[in-house]
Amino acid sequence: MQLISDIQQASEQCRQWREDNETIAFVPTMGCLHAGHLGLVEKAMQSADRVVVSIFVNPLQFDDPADLSKYPKTLEEDLKKLGDYEVDLVFIPETETFYAEGEENVEKIDPGAIATILEGEKRPGHFAGVTTVVKRLFEIIQPTVAVFGEKDFQQVMVVSSLIREFGMNISLQAIPTFREPDGLAMSSRNTRLSPAERKQASEIYRQMKATREAILSGNTDFSELESIATGNLTQLGFDPEYVAIRQADTLLKPQNPADKLVILVAAKLGETRLIDNMRV
Ligand code: AMP
């Protein structure tokens, strides 16, 4: 497992692999790795000859400076975990070289209309930060396959439209969410929950499940179902930002009974903002 911080060096190693007709699967992360990330790495191992994982806490995608400064950094443990997998390259760029022009001078990539709703609406600038970092990472690594988690459902759509928009020859794999035994979606931010909050946090999963069951049993009053789940979460001590039942392929409001649906939730628990989703 090579550790490379230098952009040229990472790019050169990947170019060499491509020249040798080896395929590359790429898993971008912000570190503080948990079993969900490692599940993505396993998928990557099955998808290509070479596996590249990046660890980079991208300042451009944080709309809240406090969230950025509190973001957990556990590089040593991350590398130890990755050492148990067949990872060929861990790319760990420095912010100063990755955004050599200075963070404030970076020309951001417009993520388009999908970024104006839900997470995009609640976290202005977040998805422009995502498209900007992902495009640069894709240009450096030029992977055959990029592996992302459905935990960040809207992010998968943003990346998919980025690939389409720029005509990149990358196949996008979206992996279902890995959960703790009580249903809580694994997340680096879970480490910030107090023991009491950690116990409470899985209520998001239970509320999504109840909403899903209501839909499956024929309830199509989606606004009412959203209000019920929001009310329940509030009563349970959350500060919900949204509970939204949307079309799974567009994230627009449902229109037809045949629409495939997804339930998306963002809620704060104490100081920690949690997001999750569930397909119906
Ligand atoms: P992050 O380090 O939070 O930027 O996440 C890196 C990648 O891991 C993203 O594609 C996430 O969607 C994915 N990911 C994070 N948590 C999970 C999870 N619980 N299950 C599946 N994928 C996840």
251 CB within 6 A, ligand 1:
no
50 forms bridges with which residues in the sheet?
Answer: 24
Query: Is the CB of 149 inside a 6 Å radius of any atom of ligand 1?
Result: yes
Q: At what angle do helices 126-141 and 7-19 cross, to 10 degrees?
A: 50
CA 173/CA 163 separation, integer angstroms: 12
Reported as a pLDDT band with limits 50, 70 and 90, residue 63 is confident
What pLDDT was estimated at residue 138?
A: 98
Distance 31 CA to ligand 1 centre (A): 10
Overall residue count recorded for the chain in this entry: 280
What CA–CA distance (Å, rounded) separates 184 from 202? 5
Average pLDDT over residues 49-57: 98
Residues serving a catalytic function are 37
Q: Is the CB of 186 under 6 A from ligand 1?
A: yes
* Rounded CA separation 119/273 (Å): 11
158 lines ligand 1 (CB under 6 A): no
Query: What are the pLDDT digits (tens) for 216-245?
Result: 999 999 999 999 999 999 999 999 999 999
pLDDT at 213: 98
**Residue 153 class from Cβ within 10 Å (0-12 exposed, 13-18 middle, 19+ buried)?**
buried
Q: What is the pLDDT of residues 233-279, one digit of tens each?
A: 999 999 999 999 999 999 999 999 889 999 999 999 999 999 999 99
The answer to whether the CB of 30 is under 6 A from ligand 1 is yes
Partners of 262 in beta bridges: 246, 279
The Å distance, Cα 271 to ligand 1 centre, comes to 20
Ligand 1 centre and the CA of 184: distance in Å? 13
Q: How far apart are CA 61 and CA 127, in angstroms?
A: 7
Q: Separation of 223 CA from ligand 1 center, angstroms?
A: 29
Residue range 188-222, pLDDT digits in tens: 999 999 999 999 999 999 999 999 999 999 999 99
Average pLDDT (83-103) is: 97
And the tokens for 240? 């919900």
What atom in ligand 1 is closest to the CA of residue 177? Answer: 20
On the question of pLDDT at 168 being above 90, the answer is yes
Which residue matches tokens 């975990």? 81
Closest-lying ligand 1 atom to the alpha carbon of residue 179: 19
- Predicted local distance difference test score (pLDDT) of residue 228: 98
> From the CB of 118, is ligand 1 less than 6 Å away?
no
Q: 42, 131, 151: which to mutate for ligand 1, most atoms within 8 A of CB?
A: 151
Sorted by sequence, the CB contacts under 8 Å of residue 26 that are 6+ apart come out as 44, 51, 52, 53, 54, 137, 138, 141, 143, 145, 146, 147
Residue to mutate, 29, 53, 276, ligand 1, most ligand atoms under 8 Å from C-beta:
29
Beta carbon of 177 within 6 Å of any ligand 1 atom? yes
Confidence category of residue 153, pLDDT binned at 50, 70, 90: very high
Q: How far is CA 207 from the centre of its chain?
A: 21
